Amino acid sequence: MWGRGALLRTRTVSLAWGRGWSAAAPCSAPAEPSRVRALIYGHHGDPAKVVELKNLELAAMGGSDVHVKMLAAPINPSDINMIQGNYGLLPKLPAVGGNEGVGQVVAVGGSVTGVKPGDWVIPANAGLGTWRTEAVFSEEALIGVPSDIPLQSAATLSVNPCTAYRMLMDFEQLQPGDWVIQNASNSGVGQAVIQIAAALGLRTINVVRDRPDLQELTDRLKSLGAEHVLTEEELRKHEMKNFFKDMPQPRLALNCVGGKSSTELLRHLAPGGTMVTYGGMAKQPVIASVSQLIFKDLKLRGFWLSQWKKDHSPAQFKELILTLCGLIGRGQLTAPACSEVPLQDYERALEASMQPFVSSKQILTMC
């Protein structure tokens, strides 16, 4: 997806990066070039300082291309990390921000067979640049999704729920009634883990940071299917030994924090269990004691969805997407709490997405 050289021009800069370079306008009809808008960064740094809203021209369509009108695109932690230059996958600069979102097909090239005008589509891979109003993409860069699922669910489908599902399925052979423990339980992945686990008959212990609205957060996570919600401080208390006497110890732990939080997850894992790390919010290393590795035979693994996609075929990723769409259709998987923000108010959305204890994902809307 990175090197298919279509050219796109702005009024102030020239950009050459992949066939995805293009953007557009209001949601009613294709716009004049001056109304094509995208959030662009020309160098890495603080998103508040390097991201700019620019006018772009829509690239010409080829036979295998799809003209997409973007509807909504979230701001994920990985988007922020990519802009800062602290991520495992970085696009050539200048780049359009955003790795996830949903759009509606406006027109297709003559050789396109997988989608048609009116269909909803999401990115097949990271780096597509979804923070724009309109674009021309190659057909292979897109996956069709049902247009009867909620917009916010479609916009947030291709990263966090996929990560949650794969971590629950790929590391331990869990059976209904088994327990899973996770930190960062209020994150997009955390909320998806709670719901997908419940749909699979698994039970979850969900660890969160203490905060002023803790009871409200606890009630919301339990409404999603969380069995227990604990704070980091509670998990460290001596009394937790009695808590785990009344239930089987978890065989799977999901770590998005690192540092002391991950140490506590390991402490409560069942012998032979696995801790999967998929993030490092604390910016501190994962530390496991020698005794945990020798006497409990705990396993430490990592998960990155981009690598999973490299190791699997596009058809397998599409199958994963459709499995999750089935959960959404049955009411078993909903989008995380979201705040919709118009594209032109992107500065407010970026600022909110980087604040601590934010319980609402920022979603940029294009019309």
Catalytic residues: 87
Task: Single out the residue of 6, 343, 336 nearest to residue 188, CA to CA.
Answer: 336
Q: What is the CA radius of gyration of the chain?
A: 21
CA distance 302 to 120: 32
Q: What is the chain's length? A: 367
| Exposure b/e, 214-229, CB count within 10 A at least 16 = b | eeebbebbeebbbbbb
CA distance 15 to 6: 9
Q: What is the DSSP secondary structure assignment for residue 45, as one 8-state letter?
A: S
CA distance 66 to 62: 8
Q: What is the DSSP string of 92-107?
A: PSSEE--S--EEEEEE
- Which residues are registered as beta bridge partners of 81? none
Question: What six digits make up the tokens of 116?
Answer: 């048609």
- Is 181 within 8 Å of 203 (Cβ atoms)? no
Q: What is the DSSP string of 160-179?
A: HHHHHHHHHHHSS---TT-E
